[in-house]
Each structure stands twice: as C-alpha cells, then as structure tokens.
A and B are shown apart, each in its own frame.
Chain A
Amino acid sequence: MMLRRPGAVAGVAIVAILVAAVAPWLPSYPLTLLTQALIVAILAMSLDVLLGFTGLPSLGHAAYFGVAAYAVAILTTERQAGFLLCLVVGLVAAAVAAALFGLIAIRATGTYFLMITLALGMVVWGLAFRWVSLTKGDNGISGVPRPDLGLPWSLWGPLPFFYFSLACALVAIVLLGLIVASPFGMSLKGIRESESRMRTLGYNVWLHKYLAFIIAGTFAGFSGVLWAYYNGFVSPVDVQLVTSVETLLMVALGGPGTLVGPAAGAAVIVFLKNFVSVYTKRWLLILGAVYIGVILFAPRGLAGAFHRRSS
C-alpha cells in the first residue's frame, strides 16, 4: 500500500539522480540556488502535510522554521555546538513550539485557523525582533559556521553542501511520504474531506490534527536547521509574515496534497525570485501576477495540472 503513486516516486528519483549528476558541472551560483531550493522544498512539504493532507491552511508556518534556525544560530555562535546537538535542539524547539501553538490553533478551522496561525506567527516574529539579548534583534545572528560532519569533504564548499542538502531533502521526502501513505496519513485525508464523518467513524479528530500540526512543525524545523547552516545568518526576516505567505504560495503553486508538487513549487519560486529580480525591478509585480495566474488557471497547482484527479 506504500507506493500508491509510483509515477511520483519515479519522478522524484529521476529528478534527484539528474540533479546529482549535473551538479559538479554547474557554476557555484546556480548550485547555491539549487541548494536553497532543496532546503525550502522541505519547508513547503512540511506545510503540505498540514494544508494539503489535513486541510488546515496555516499562515504562520515560518514560526517553526525560524525557531529551529535561531536555535542553531544561537548554539553555534554562543556555544560552538556541533551538528548533532544543533539538529536535535532545533527539531525539539520546533516541535515544542508547534505543540504549544497547536493547542491554541487546532480549536479552529478554515478561516479562523488561518487567522490564528497568522497571529501566532506574529508572536514569534515579535519575540525575534524584540528579545534582543537572545536573538540580537534586527541585526540578526551572523557567523554561523558550516557543520563539521567529520567527512573528508568540507561542507564550506558549495558542492559538498549541495549534496548534503540533497541527502537531507531526500530523507525528508521519504519520511513524509511514509507518513502520508500510512493509515495515519489516510485518516488525515479523511479529516480534510469531512471532519464530521471521521468523528462519527470513531476517529479522534483533534488528536490527529494536533499530531499533524506537530509533525509539520518539526519538519519545518528541519528545514530551518539547514537554512541557518546554508546562509550562515538568521534574522527576524526568516519568521516574518511574508515568509509564511510565500511558503503557502509554494504549496498552492505546486499542488496541495501531493508532497512532490509543493517541493517543485518551492523550486520554481526560489528560481523565479532570484532570476526575475536580476532582469527587472518589477519582480514583485511579476510574482504577484504569477500567483494570481496560477490560482485562476491552475487551481490545483502544477501537480494538479498533471494529474487528472476528480475531487
């Protein structure tokens, strides 16, 4: 029952192999953009669990991403902590934040959920901005070193770090794929379709939603950990509303409920942003128009356009 969508799995494998094979020949700038795309893809996929699979649209997902990123930044710059410790603390911090906020947010659905998660995201942003002794506020935390994994290749180089990110992204997509294909994942889809029906069938809907929230938050944290290492820099911008909004757009663009779709959506948006802004100052306008266009003409996103699914 695990490989319900062999096409998607094959697609992911093909893309991964292609990209891994081409990488050594790419100049370092596009390589760093690809790395960025991979890391952000993990974030988009984590939101997909919440939005696409459970039907909960969150406008505050950057909060968990940011909490983990800050954890890594603080630990590496203040305590010179190693990768394993940072990874664990980052993931735990994101999970705890999600567990706390989930208690408040899960009571609502639909639009109210949207608003509440927006508000909670703003709380984290406010803290990042104002708790200066911890987060250095507006200055951000810079000087985060690349992780030292004891490998023969230093992760300071763009190519080794790219492969590292690719590996992490594959781990994320496999784990998330297993989760959504499991009976738990099936129940989430059922909840997305109709909460009341699931309740009458005897499922503990609240618990399912809460767990989905925590899982989504934890994987967002995973993305945040990698992001801190990639940039070497974390600031309140990483937890601001615009970041949460962009993540939501990546999921919508790629196609909610497909995992692969949001990952592709993330890649498209990362490239669009960086590519378009080189050629024109009007990149924001273009981006806005692209979002509107996609929503109007491909409402189920890119993946939806490929699938001929009746919904």
Chain B
Amino acid sequence: MSSEFWIIQTFNGLSYGALLFLLASGLSLIFGVMRVVNLAHGSYFMLGGYVGLSVVWRTGSFAAAVVAGAVAIGLIGIGMERLFLRRLPGQTLGQVLMTIGFALIFQDLALLIWGGDPYSIPVPRFLQGAVRAGELSFPSYRIFIIVVAVVVAALLWLALDRTRVGARIRAAVDDGEMAQGVGINVPVLSLAVFALGASLAAAGGVIGGAFLGVYPGADFEVLPYAFVVVIVGGLGSLPGAMVGSLLVGLLDNFGKALFPELSYFTLFAPMALILALRPTGLFGRA
C-alpha cells in the first residue's frame, strides 16, 4: 500500500468521523443530562436532511437549509421531550421504548411527505471540486465537513468549559439531584440540551445529505454508527464523542478498504472489545 493510499484513507476516515461527530455528540450530551437513550436520534438526522432538501428546492440556499433543518428538528425534539418523555421521569426503559415509537412514526411521516425516492442535496457551488496536492485530490466538501465539525466541537467545548451555562450542564451531568438541590434548573437545562442535540443531528443530516443522500431507511442505517461512537466514547462525555467519532470514522474506513468482507465486524468487534475492558466506554462514567 502506497503512502498515497494511507493519506487518502485517513482523510476519508476523518471526514466521515467529522459527520459522525455532528450526529453523535448530541446523543451523548442528551444521555449525559437526561439519561435518555434516544433511539429516534437517527430519525432526527434523516428528518433534518429531508427538511433541508425541501428548503434547498425552494430557496436554493444551502445555508438556509442547514439552519431550517436544525431549527425544525430542534422544535420537534422539544416537543418530544416536553410532551412525552417528561411524563416518564426516571423510567429508562419506558423512555427508550417511547423513542422507538417515535422513530417509527417519523419514518412513516417522512415516507408520506417526501415519498420513497432517494435524493441528494446539491453541494453549494463554492464547495464543489477538490483541493489538489500533487497526485492527491481532496474533495472540498469533505474538507468543509471536517472544518464544521472542528468548529462545532470547539464551540461546544468552550461553552461547556468556560460558560456559566456550561458549568450548570456539567453539574447536571455529574449529579442531577445535587444540581437541582443547589438551585440549578435541571428540567429547563435538560430541555435545552435535548433541543441542541436534536439540532446538531439535524444539521448533520443536511450536511451529510449532500454526500450520503437523503432516503428512507437513512435513520436506522446511521443509528448504529451513532451508538458505536457513543458507546466507545462514553455516554455523556464530549471528549468521548470527539475521540469516539474519530475512531469509528477511521476504523470503518480502513476496515472497508482493507478487509471488505469483514466490514461490519471490523467496526463492531473492536467496540465489543473496548466494552469488555471498559463497560462505560473510554471517557464515560458509571
């Protein structure tokens, strides 16, 4: 294998991992604050993509599509949390099952509204083409995804680490009861985090929609990846989501390039191994 091969594959793995970060960071944060495993998270990704698609068709603006997707799905997330999940405080299983019910409903609604054809969100003109470095060619759009993920990661980290709100969120993740006792409004915080997580996934869906496409079944196709990232990185941990998505992106990419027959095995087996050694993931806490 030439060095060219390794460079290209690493780049591909990084760009895929970047997309996964947008998808999975929300899932991890939601769990951290609310202890809810949201099986409709893949649906947020897919619905975000569909909303973005409609916006692009109508307005031609990619940026508007991302914003619209994020806002729309953020609102749906708020609705889900406030009207439904809130009624089952502390019931992990009940909440998980409820999110499954929603996932099914979203899947059918998407089919009803947008039909079953697969679509692709057009890449904005200035992001088409590739950056060349000698023999190698790096698609500009993938560079864009990496940049977006890095910016989002930095913003999230700064927000969690340096702001008051961030401190409150971290307190709620560490010990919800104590945080509530100290006067932190945990329910409002949870709602905000839930909305943020949903919006991030939806934005990921729009951005991903330009190279993965938007199609029925995208929700359950992308969900296992989100879970692997979060399991490996550790639930509730932002650094975990960052490291996890990088790892999964690279593992998946190299696995498919080097051992295509074992492609799912190369992804899930290392994950099972990590879990065998650290059940709470690399950065997670019990």
Q: Do chains A and B touch in the complex (CB under 8 A)?
A: yes
Question: A21 at interface (Cβ–Cβ under 8 A)?
Answer: no
A115 near B230 (CB under 8 angstroms)?
yes
B279 near A116 (CB under 8 angstroms)?
yes
Dominant SS among interface residues on chain A:
helix
Contacts of B280 in A (CB 8 A): 108, 112
A162 to B96, CA, bound (A): 34
- What are 10 contact pairs spanning A and B, CB under 8 A? A57-B92, A104-B272, A114-B96, A123-B268, A126-B267, A130-B264, A130-B265, A284-B105, A289-B105, A292-B98
A288 near B101 (CB under 8 angstroms)?
yes
Closest chain B residue, CB of each to CB of A245:
B100
Query: Interface digits, A203-247 against B, CB 8 Å rule (1 contact, 0 not)?
Result: 000000000000000000000000000000000000001100100
Question: A308 at interface (Cβ–Cβ under 8 A)?
Answer: no
Contacts of A182 in B (CB 8 A): none
Least Cβ distance of A243 to chain B in Å?
Answer: 12
Query: Interface digits, A101-122 against B, CB 8 Å rule (1 contact, 0 not)?
Result: 0011001101110111011101
Q: Which residues of B line the A interface, CB within 8 A?
A: 31, 35, 37, 39, 84, 87-88, 91-94, 96-98, 100-105, 107-109, 112, 220, 223-224, 227-228, 230-231, 235, 261-265, 267-269, 271-272, 275-276, 279-280
A112 to B275, CA, bound (A): 10
B100 near A249 (CB under 8 angstroms)?
yes
A130 to B256, CA, bound (A): 12
A288 near B104 (CB under 8 angstroms)?
yes
A289 near B264 (CB under 8 angstroms)?
no
B104 near A284 (CB under 8 angstroms)?
yes
Contacts of A126 in B (CB 8 A): 263-265, 267-268
B107 near A289 (CB under 8 angstroms)?
no
B231 near A129 (CB under 8 angstroms)?
no
Closest chain A residue, CB of each to CB of B39:
A245
Number of interface residues of A (CB under 8 A): 40
Max chain B CB contacts within 10 Å: which of A118, A123, A125, A288? A288
Contact of A295 among B31, B97, B112 (CB under 8 A): B97
A296 to B272, CA, bound (A): 34
Closest chain A residue, CB of each to CB of B262:
A130
Q: A122-B268, A130-B262, A285-B105 are in contact. Are A296 and B84 (CB under 8 A)?
A: yes
Least Cβ distance of B281 to chain A in Å?
Answer: 8
Q: Which residues of A line the B interface, CB within 8 A?
A: 51, 57, 103-104, 107-108, 110-112, 114-116, 118-120, 122-123, 125-127, 129-130, 241-242, 245, 248-249, 252, 282, 284-285, 287-292, 295-296, 299
A292 to B102, CA, bound (A): 8
Contacts of A119 in B (CB 8 A): 227-228, 231, 268, 271-272, 275
A114 near B37 (CB under 8 angstroms)?
yes
A242 to B101, CA, bound (A): 12
Least Cβ distance of A210 to chain B in Å?
Answer: 14
A295 near B88 (CB under 8 angstroms)?
yes
B105 near A288 (CB under 8 angstroms)?
yes
B272 near A284 (CB under 8 angstroms)?
no
Least Cβ distance of A104 to chain B in Å?
Answer: 5
A212 to B42, CA, bound (A): 32
A241 to B100, CA, bound (A): 11
Contact of B264 among A51, A120, A125 (CB under 8 A): A125
B279 near A288 (CB under 8 angstroms)?
no
Contacts of A114 in B (CB 8 A): 37, 92, 96
A115 near B94 (CB under 8 angstroms)?
no
A192 to B112, CA, bound (A): 42
A95 to B264, CA, bound (A): 23
A285 near B276 (CB under 8 angstroms)?
no
Contacts of B264 in A (CB 8 A): 122-123, 125-127, 129-130
Contacts of A120 in B (CB 8 A): 272
A252 to B107, CA, bound (A): 21
Contacts of B94 in A (CB 8 A): 252, 295, 299
Q: A104-B276, A112-B235, A292-B101 are in contact. Are A130 and B37 (CB under 8 A)?
A: no
Contacts of B103 in A (CB 8 A): 288
Contacts of A242 in B (CB 8 A): 220
A129 to B263, CA, bound (A): 10
Beyond the given A130-B264, A292-B98, A299-B94, could you list 9 further A-B residue pairs with CB under 8 A, ordered by the A residue number?
A57-B92, A111-B35, A112-B235, A114-B37, A123-B268, A245-B39, A291-B101, A292-B102, A295-B101
